[in-house]
Chains A and B, each alone.
Chain A
Amino acid sequence: MKGTIRTAYAHDQNAAAAVRAAQADLGDEPADLIVAFVGGKHAPEAALAALRAAFPGITLAGGAAAGAISAHGFGYGGFEIGLIAFAGADVTPAVVATRDLLSGEFAAGETLGEAVRARTEDGQAVLLLFDSVASTAPLKLHPASQIMAGFQSGLAARELHIVGGGLLTDINLSDGWLLDGGEVCKHAAAALIFPPGIAAETVIFHGCRPASSFLDITKIEGAEVLELNGEPALTVVERMLGLTLGTTSGQQLSLVATLGQKQGDPYAPFDENAYVNRLILQANPERGSLTLFEPDFEVGARVQIMSRDNILMLESVTRGVDDLRSRMAAKTTLLGLYIDCAGRASVMTGAETEEAELVVETLAPKFPFMGFYSGVEIAPFAGGTSRPLDWTGVLTVLQAAR
């Protein structure tokens, strides 16, 4: 296999200085594609100008990130720059993109899926990146579940290893943007299709455990859960927890709890990998409802209130890395990619240990490694197709296929 993948991380309040520092770290070897994860305090146009100046004529991908994670440092203050440089046809992903999320996430995802299907064979790895924020006033997200549903529809029977993340400028969902065609784009999604000679292994880190018995969704409109067990959803959750979920000033996530849906046998022993969690975007006291990050639950779905569990979150990292390492044996690893829910940062969870640091320490990568803090994570779930996930860390290693 010919080609190289290199990564670099820098931190500077000046975007040009940060890019130059990262560029110096990458070295002089030419690149065919630069994927950039840009901290949200950097003005997008300034970051793009800096990237263009540093890498003239080279295709740029990536976009905003609530923070970046590398083997040599990490941060979520907003001044980070994380770069992945691909050189050589054997390792460089092809990029296809859509800028039509605002017209309809499913349709845009489907178009993108069709384009990817036309350029792939079964088994290839794809990194899907998209702008998470549709509007800020009122706050509205581009639902990953609809993008993915469309994308899977466009792929038809094509079986790919899809991982991805929603791009955010910060954890407050202030904004999001994507680099496509040498421009800063809103409402866009991009699929980075890795060449057939690259195989991917992925592990998902969790961190929530059920904190209630099963509750039936009896009324839901899109992502807004109106009723649980026939009662206003907010009333049920607040009564059960003995907590107020927040008066919500529009931008404030209710991070006290999530709603989780157990997959498979509902009465099987607890397995963190069996749960799909949905963050609560807003609690709406006047409607007695809860708005979730994704609109993919339906009437009749059985959910549980889930609690964050910092110990479980860190244990999940250790277990997951061990699992991944056992699958990585005897293969040449080209890149480690970590897509980390911004909510897992210690500033949110209050965990003594930074989860991202633990990932790096446990993995101890002797290969290029880069991660970013995301809004939503996408990964193959429970041995099946890829799904959007909340409050997870998705660690993927790209390796030379046997």
Chain B
Amino acid sequence: MNVPATPSFEQLQRELEFYRREYDDMGARLVRLQEEQSRAAREARRSKIVARLVRDAYQIVHQDIFASKIGGLILAMVADTALCDKAAFLKRDPVDTERFVVEHALGGMTGETLELPAPPAFLFTASGKPAEPAAAPLTALIGVPYILFAHDESSGRGVLLGKKFEGNIHRPYEARDAEIVEVVLAVYIDLLLRKSAEATMRQARQAAEEASNTRARFLANLSHELRSPLNTIIGFSGLMLEGRARAPTPEQRDEFARQIQDAGRSLLALANDILDFSSLGHARLQLRREWVPLAPLLHAVARALTQDIAARNVWVDVLPVQAELQAHIDYDRFRQILTNILGNAVKFTPPGGRIELGACLEGRSGIRLSVRDNGIGIREEDLARALEPFVQLKSESHDHPRGAGLGLPIAKQLVEAHDGELQLASVFGMGTEVTILLPEGSGKLG
């Protein structure tokens, strides 16, 4: 049996050195393998970040939030997922197209706008890469040196991510990171479009519901407005027919004929209003504008309503108007506007009440017209509805004449067709003032 010889000290030293070398070598391989694995995992992380961003961002689709909130939510996801220090969405200024405005920001920007005449579709900065000229305003805005930027020309939007350091979890940015910012931007734009489409649909639905309500109100109102004069016509004409037990006296016959005529006129006026309002809503009104002296117009309108004014026993004052004041308007349409407004005021001003018509220059060449009464007024909560069609506001008193509720809406549409604005101010129980404002260029003296 051969017994191995006891190794010499020198052999042992060599053996130890051998094992030490091998151990160190194995250790170094382990470190490098570990580092390689970490690097591969960090690379794979980019895809995970993109996938998670897409998944999380599209959760927003199902949330009932405004489009204006989407940007902030996505930036928070980006900061949380991509582990950047700061982030912002930028939007091209619609007026100064070389300027971008910070739309949403996370982490604080140094300003709210930046000059970026020719934004690249993508850029990044890293310590190992010479900076592009376009990077300077972006790094200045975000206040950190390392950035990722993507821009979408068609929507005029951009996204900017930034970090303070390149170490640790924040490896240096590189060209392949375009995937991250491009996805962020695409998701943002897509969600904005979706939410915007949702809002449009919601508005359309509301409009349809409103139209349906309006139609219902119209039918209810119309049936009343039609039934009353028709009943009058049928009733009085019945009384006038021959063969009745008691023939009407000539005086009665006159009165019945007058009632029938009034009812017929009322029906005609109603039909005109409905046709007017309907045509205003469906086609652009053709105005025949001319320079019209306002003082004669106001007096003509007041005169035209003399009968109603007398019947209601109210006072109508046309306030002094500069004789040479003229407005560039469609005479017939403006007469209709003022007639409707004054007619309304007469209707809702109790006997003994007062109504004032006035007109003056507004600014250099605008026009202000007003009809002010001390009638029953409108409750604050009803003010907005008063300009809606077919709306008859509740009244404490029953002695006010009814109507189709189209006078003011027609007036409003006609004013707007003149590029003007119709304003309504009222204090319940105290009175109402309707003001028409026509833009600069609509008025002149002489």
User: B-contacting residues of A (Cβ < 8 Å)?
Assistant: 11, 13, 41, 75-79, 171-172, 174, 209-213, 240-243, 246, 248-249, 251-253, 255-257, 305, 307-310, 345-352
| A351–B31 touching, CB < 8 Å | no
| B30–A213 touching, CB < 8 Å | no
Which residues of B23-79 have CB atoms within 8 Å of chain A's CB atoms?
23-24, 26-28, 30-32, 34-35, 37-42, 45, 72, 76, 79
Contact of A348 among B30, B37, B168 (CB under 8 A): B168
Contacts of B32 in A (CB 8 A): 241-243
**How many angstroms from the CA of A257 to the CA of B33 in the assembled complex?**
12
Binds A, one of B159-167, B393-401, B405-413: B159-167
With A248-B167, A256-B35, A346-B41 already in contact, 11 other A-B pairs whose C-beta atoms are closer than 8 Å: A11-B80, A75-B80, A79-B76, A211-B27, A213-B24, A251-B165, A305-B27, A309-B30, A347-B45, A350-B37, A351-B41
Shortest beta-carbon distance from A357 to chain B in Å: 15
Which residues of B64-109 have CB atoms within 8 Å of chain A's CB atoms?
72, 76, 79-81, 83, 85, 106-107
Majority DSSP secondary structure for residues of B touching A:
helix
Chain B residue nearest to A12 (CB atoms) is B76
Q: Determine if B20 is an interface residue (Cβ-Cβ < 8 Å).
A: yes
Contacts of B72 in A (CB 8 A): 13
A77-B80 contact, Cβ under 8 Å, with A241-B31, A243-B35, A347-B45: yes
| B79–A41 touching, CB < 8 Å | yes
Contacts of A348 in B (CB 8 A): 38, 168-169
Contact of B31 among A77, A172, A253, A305 (CB under 8 A): A305
Shortest beta-carbon distance from A101 to chain B in Å: 23
Contacts of B23 in A (CB 8 A): 212-213
| A308–B41 touching, CB < 8 Å | no
Contacts of A309 in B (CB 8 A): 30, 34
Q: Determine if B252 is an interface residue (Cβ-Cβ < 8 Å).
A: no
| A172–B79 touching, CB < 8 Å | no
Residue in B20, B30, B40, B168 whose Cβ sees the most chain A Cβ within 10 Å: B168
Contacts of B30 in A (CB 8 A): 209, 211, 307, 309
Contacts of A240 in B (CB 8 A): 24, 27-28
> A-facing mask of B127-166, CB < 8 A → 1, else 0?
1000000000000000000000000000000000000111
Shortest beta-carbon distance from A27 to chain B in Å: 26
**How many angstroms from the CA of A252 to the CA of B38 in the assembled complex?**
16
A307-B31 contact, Cβ under 8 Å, with A172-B169, A349-B38, A350-B41: yes
Contacts of B217 in A (CB 8 A): none
Can you sample 25 A-B contacts with CB below 8 Å? A13-B79, A13-B106, A41-B79, A77-B80, A78-B79, A78-B80, A172-B165, A211-B28, A212-B24, A212-B28, A242-B28, A243-B35, A248-B167, A249-B127, A249-B167, A252-B166, A256-B35, A305-B27, A308-B34, A308-B38, A310-B34, A347-B42, A348-B38, A349-B38, A349-B41
**How many angstroms from the CA of A307 to the CA of B107 in the assembled complex?**
35
Is the interface on chain B under 10, 10 to 19, 20 to 34, or 35 or more residues?
35 or more
Q: Determine if B354 is an interface residue (Cβ-Cβ < 8 Å).
A: no
Chain B residue nearest to A349 (CB atoms) is B38
Chain B residue nearest to A14 (CB atoms) is B76
**How many angstroms from the CA of A243 to the CA of B34 in the assembled complex?**
12
**How many angstroms from the CA of A243 to the CA of B38 in the assembled complex?**
14
| A41–B107 touching, CB < 8 Å | yes
Contacts of A78 in B (CB 8 A): 79-80
Please name the 10 residue pairs, one residue from A and one from B, whose CB atoms are nearest each other, closest first: A252-B167, A350-B41, A211-B27, A350-B38, A77-B80, A13-B76, A307-B31, A213-B20, A251-B165, A347-B169
Contacts of B81 in A (CB 8 A): 77
Chain A residue nearest to B43 (CB atoms) is A350
Shortest beta-carbon distance from A262 to chain B in Å: 14
Q: Determine if B170 is an interface residue (Cβ-Cβ < 8 Å).
A: yes
Contact of B164 among A174, A246, A248, A346 (CB under 8 A): A174
Contacts of A79 in B (CB 8 A): 76, 79-80
Contacts of A41 in B (CB 8 A): 79, 85, 107
